[in-house]
Amino acid sequence: MFRAKLRQIISVKESPHRIASSFAIGMFIGMSPLLGIHTILGIAVAYLLRLNKFITLVGVFVTNPWTIVPIYSFGIWLGAKLMHIDKIIPEIDWSNMTFSVFLEDFGHLLLPFAVGSTVFALASAIISYIFIFYLVKMKRW
């Protein structure tokens, strides 16, 4: 499935820069901490920047139900490391779990999540731009 999408991306009749930019912007949006608005934001940004909407959405959908847990877990871990937070997993009493207790136990993770996910999204976008740009150039040569 990944290779099929990659072939589709490479075969689009656009410049290597536009293809790589579309995918990288989508990747950044998809891995950003803006849960729930990735698709709409991806389409809007692609439209505003005149990028390829299909390729942007392929980048957005890198974060999906199968990948969201490892991506965001790494984002929380990275944010905690960048912010010098040692203990990120609290002791949890699951028998008395309510929404307010959940927020109390996990609310401290929001800032590390935002920081780490944003840094990870930016790094992933830069790496994916370089990878896609040179892949398209090599395949079209």
pLDDT for residue 90: 66
pTM of the model: 0.84
Convert 16-39 to b/e letters by CB count within 10 Å (16 or more is b): bebbbbbbbbbbbbbbbbeeeebe
> CA quadruple 62, 67, 70, 75: dihedral positive or negative?
positive
pLDDT tens string 67-96 = 999 999 999 999 999 999 987 776 767 677
- 10-20 pLDDT, tens digit each: 778 899 999 99
Q: Which residues contact 12 (CB under 8 A, 6 or more apart)?
A: 19, 52, 54, 55
- pLDDT value at residue 12: 81
Q: Does the pLDDT at position 46 exceed 80? A: yes
Return the pLDDT at 2.
Answer: 67
Q: What angle do CA 112, 92, 64 make, to 5 degrees?
A: 50
Provide the pLDDT confidence category of residue 122 given band limits of 50, 70 and 90. very high
Cα atoms found within 13 Å of the Cα of residue 19, Cβ hemisphere only: 21
